[in-house]
Structure 1
């Protein structure tokens, strides 16, 4: 009966985050969502979601950053676990200063990375950096 009630109400009553209504999202509903940092600075929009077809996991989100009228835009492969959802504001949070993306090279939109390992690394403080 509890599972039936969850399906009607959309409220999750078990797992790591009980009573949190947000449990699954469609890719279509995520693409285009805004990405901000913890200082509420706009970092870009989710352009796409890259799936690993071998194991069914999300490899990374593609974030489109900056630019104006298709000029000077940058694209970044951001690992799935480095974004968190702010469901109340319908956006994602990437805990990095805007200056990190301003200074980082990004990747060519016509040559997306096969894997995000070439574009990020974690330092001892679990921040996102380039090598």
Structure 2
């Protein structure tokens, strides 16, 4: 079936069943993926992916950073556009040092940060010098 419409459909269906294809990946497979800096140093793990319900765009990848065994861990919303997947590392790469990440907008587990707040979202995007995804701002 290779090279036919049926073969293409079959390959796409297999991708859906495994949660991943050549270009697409399901959100549950993104969660738990490592995040590295340009030097290959592991910075944290993608804990969640936040989607804009209206546009369908990925707004943030929420990365856990710091702490030990979950104690003192901070969560950093990263603009999706700042993440680049590296096949060799098997994770996402951000162009940030550990020190730059320490100064980035973040929140602790259980805090009442509102990722829906456009002011907070814009502050996050401004910190990373990324174009803000919400056209309303």
Q: What is the TM-score of this pair, normalised by structure 2? A: 0.71
Q: Using the alignment, how far apart are the partners of 2:73 and 2:82 within structure 1?
A: 21
Would the alpha carbon gap of residues 76 and 3 (structure 1) be closer, same or farther in structure 2, given more than 3 Å must change? farther
Q: Retained in 1: the 8 A contact 2:79–2:124?
A: no
Would the alpha carbon gap of residues 81 and 3 (structure 1) be closer, same or farther in structure 2, given more than 3 Å must change? farther
Where structure 2 has 5 or more consecutive residues not aligned to the other structure, the ranges are 13-20, 131-137
Q: After the TM superposition, which residues 105-116 of structure 1 pair with which residues of structure 2 at under 5 Å, given as runs? A: 105-110=105-110, 111-112=112-113, 113-114=115-116, 115=118, 116=121
More strand per residue: 1
Of 85-94 and 42-51, deviating more is 85-94
Question: Deviations 1:77-128 (Å, cap 9, x if unpaired)?
Answer: 10111101112332000111111112335123333422532323167xx57x
Q: Retained in 2: the 8 A contact 1:22–1:87?
A: no
Indicate the residue corresponding to 1:56 in structure 2: 56
Give the aligned length: 116
Of 82-91 and 60-69, deviating more is 82-91
Q: After the TM superposition, which residues 43-122 of structure 1 pair with which residues of structure 2 at under 5 Å, given as runs? A: 43-110=43-110, 111-112=112-113, 113-114=115-116, 115=118, 116-121=121-126
Where structure 1 has 5 or more consecutive residues not aligned to the other structure, the ranges are 11-20
Q: What is the TM-score of this pair, normalised by structure 1? A: 0.74
Q: Write out the 4+ residue segments of structure 1 that deviate beyond 4 Å after TM superposition.
A: 1-10
Q: What value does the CA root-mean-square deviation take over the aligned residues?
A: 2.5
Would the alpha carbon gap of residues 6 and 93 (structure 1) be closer, same or farther in structure 2, given more than 3 Å must change? farther
SS at structure 1 position matched to 2:28: helix
